[in-house]
Structures are given as C-alpha cells and as structure tokens.
Amino acid sequence: MKKTYIVVASSIMLLFCLAYQGAYAYFTTNSQMRGDFNTDISSGTISDLIISDGNHVTSNNIIPGESVTNTFTVQNPNNLKVCFNLLWSDVVNEFINKADLVITLTDQSGKVLVSEKAFPSANDEILAENLSINGNTTNTYTLTITYKNSDQNQIADMGKTFSGTITGMPVTCQPSVVDQIIEQLDTTGACPTVNEDGTVRVTDGESENGYLCSAPDDYGTSYYYRGNVTNNYVKFGTNESGQDMYWRIIRINGDGSIRIIYDGTSAHANGEASADRQIGTSAFNSSNSDPAYVGYMYGSTLGSSYAETVANDNDSTIKAYLDNWYKNNIVDQGYTDYIADPGFCNDRSLSTQSNNGDGFSTSGNNTYYGAYQRYNDLKSPKLSCPNETNDLFTTATGTKGNKALTYPISLITIDEIHLIV
C-alpha cells in the first residue's frame, strides 16, 4: 500500500489486495431454477430466483475447432444474498468422443468459473456450484461450448447433436475465507478504541498477543490484524523465478477484499530478519527538495499552489519500481484475475499544526501532513483516506479514488503500521 506522506523507503514491503466473495448461511428457493423450495427465514419467504435469456443450448452442426456461445441471466428479486448450484436438465449428448465437447463458464466480470469441463451426459450433472447473487441483482453468465480439434479422426461425431437446459438448485452458502477471518474478531476489549471521527486511539504497541480488530475505511468496516499474529500467512503465486510467494494478511477491506503484504519466498517467524522478506530496495523519490516528492505520484515541483503540487501527473521512484515488479511477477504470471482494487491512501492532507506550511514550495514554512500529526501527536491512525478523490490511489476500474494507478499495488501506510504493531 502506499507510503502516506514522507518516508524514503529503503525496504520495499509490497502490498496489494485479493478479491474474495462473501457468503452467508441460509437456504433459498427457485421456480425456473428448479422446483418448489420455499424457506421461511426471519425476513420472510424468499422469492424464486429466475434463470432466463439463453439457458437452453443446442447444436447439431458444430465442427472441430468451433465454439458456440450462450449468454443467460440469473435474477434475484430478494433483498438478501442467496446461493445456488447450476445444474443440467433435458440433456442430449450423442457424441461418441465425449471428451472432445467441453464447456467454459464465465461471469459478467470475465472471471472463469468452469474451464473446459466435459459437456454432460445425463441430467442433474453440476455445471457450477456454490455460486451466489446479491439481493435485487441480475447476474449475467456466458457459456461457451467448444468442439475440440483433436487432430485425429473425428468422423464418428459428424452431425451429432447435443443440447441441454441450465437449471438450478438452492444450497446453503458456504462461509468464505473472509467470513472465517471475521469470526476471529476480538470481543474481550483488547482492541484499541475507535473514535467518533473514525480514528483509532493507539497508545501502546502489542508485541505479546495477536488480535483481530475493526475500524472504518473508505468502503465500510475493515478488520485488521494487530500484534503478534501467527495465523495470517497466505501462499499466493510463484514469481518470475518460479519460487513460491508468501504474504501476510494485513486486513480485510470494507468491500470484502483481502489486503496482503509480501513476506518472502518462504514462511518466516515474527521478528525474523531476512533479506528474503522484501522485493528489493529503492528510494521513495529520488529527491526530497520539494513538497511534491511526498507523493506516490506528484505534480509540479516549485509549484505555485497546493493543487499543482499534489496533482497526480508523475510517477514516484518507488511507484516505477513496484509497477515493474508487479508486471513481471503478477501480470506476466497470469494472476491479475485474483487482484482487487480498493485503493491505497497516500495522504497529503495538511495537518492543523500552527506552524504548518501551505503544502507547496513557495510557502516558506515546514509543511506537516495529516498522517504525521495522527502518528506523532494524536496517536490516532485511521484507515479511511482524508482526501479520497485525490489521495486514494486506484486504477481506472476502481469504484472510488483518483483512478491514477497503472497497477493496483503500493506500500503499507504509516496508519496501518501504527495499527498492526
């Protein structure tokens, strides 16, 4: 995540966010999706989900190497999230070489849910399981059926027919990784107190025990690990050298994604010193002679206004370093589908100290930024970004923030460090 305001980073701690989908435990019903399943819960009877717009597929003239595509929708008219499996009914599959006819299913974001699974031979086979849909939402799915060219004699399947109808079955939602983590939330009072303005009152570090605590961020409630935590390791991906990559979960973002920080090519004990726990070294910026250089991206040096100084026009030294690492080890390794974009705060809000400069080079006074004041004077870090529009760094696909990033990666903030130690 992002260094907040000053700090020349000599040790690069790499941070980005994984996307996980939450789920909740209850049954639901569907009519067009499969039969009469009515379940009373506290909010009332759940109405039927509706599958439509292309859930029947058929073809009798597909040739090797060719694909046919169907798009269908699942509509949830309820206020609550519901979970379901997609099944097959009315199945006809005349193919002799059944392994040559495969299906791929993607959701509306392009995420692959099923990859090259054999077309079914009988009713009630599962197409996809443990799917969920939010309340009052319609999701779109794309089913691609491919007749693989095996480079062998496939005459036996010439003119053969296949068809089927996509139906559904309600299931109990399985707790997600995020749900399981949130269940660990400390309720003993050991966590720091959250103030009315969303800051967290932190007077001392926690070196002995480990807790899961909560505080607001820009997307809702965030759940952060604090202290001597030993159960927050994640092994995710291999780097460009073919080595496994290990990460630590810092917190669950308010949108349900998981914020992780790089921790080497093997698991390390807390406090263990190892060069393996960083991706390299770099200055935060190559110069520190202007307030602009506190930016992960920055505007004009020797600017004539605060707005010019904090404009996100130029990459910092550290951003260029991290972007290069991300391309080589995440993009080029095919992991981008797993990455979320809830943003990284590079807080350049001005503090309220009386000797505060005005934030650009002609001010003539020292400039103190909000993160410095929260850490040094107030002892009250926060996870929401004071100037979300300019300082919450997101990519063009982000739902909030400045949309200025090339890749959703940055450095851990001083506020996060203050909370987790």
pLDDT in tens, 274-320: 888 999 999 999 898 889 999 999 999 988 899 999 999 999 999 99
- Global pTM? 0.69
Which of the residue ranges 15-24, 206-215, 254-263 would you say has the lowest mean pLDDT? Answer: 15-24
pLDDT tier at 15 (50, 70, 90 boundaries)? Answer: low
Q: Supply 110's token pair.
A: 């392009």
- Pair 92, 160: CB distance under 8 Å: no
- Pair 202, 234: CB distance under 8 Å: no
Q: Are residues 159 and 208 in the same domain?
A: no
Residue 236 lies in a domain: yes
Residue 318 lies in a domain: yes
Which of the residue ranges 4-13, 98-107, 213-222, 242-251 would you say has the lowest mean pLDDT? Answer: 4-13
Residue 1 lies in a domain: no
Q: Are residues 117 and 233 in the same domain?
A: no
Residue 6 lies in a domain: no
> How confident is the model over 270-277, as a mean pLDDT?
87
Tell me the C-alpha distance between 185 and 194, whole Å.
14
CATH number of 43's domain: 2.60.120
Mean of per-residue pLDDT scores for the chain: 85
Total domains present in the chain: 2
Residue 302 lies in a domain: yes
pLDDT tier at 409 (50, 70, 90 boundaries)? Answer: very high
Q: Are residues 357 and 229 in the same domain?
A: yes
Residue ranges making up the domain that contains 234: 14-21+178-420
Q: Are residues 195 and 209 in the same domain?
A: yes
User: Residue 5: what pLDDT?
Assistant: 23
pLDDT of 210 above 90: yes
Identity of the highest mean pLDDT range in 24-28, 35-39, 59-63, 396-400: 396-400
Last residue of a domain, one of 153, 175, 197: 175
Q: Are residues 165 and 195 in the same domain?
A: no
Q: Are residues 228 and 81 in the same domain?
A: no
CA atoms within 13 A on the CB side of 237: 22
Last residue of a domain, one of 175, 199, 234: 175
pLDDT tier at 49 (50, 70, 90 boundaries)? Answer: confident
Tell me the C-alpha distance between 83 and 29, whole Å.
10
Q: Are residues 315 and 352 in the same domain?
A: yes
Residues, the chain, total? 421
Q: Are residues 184 and 78 in the same domain?
A: no
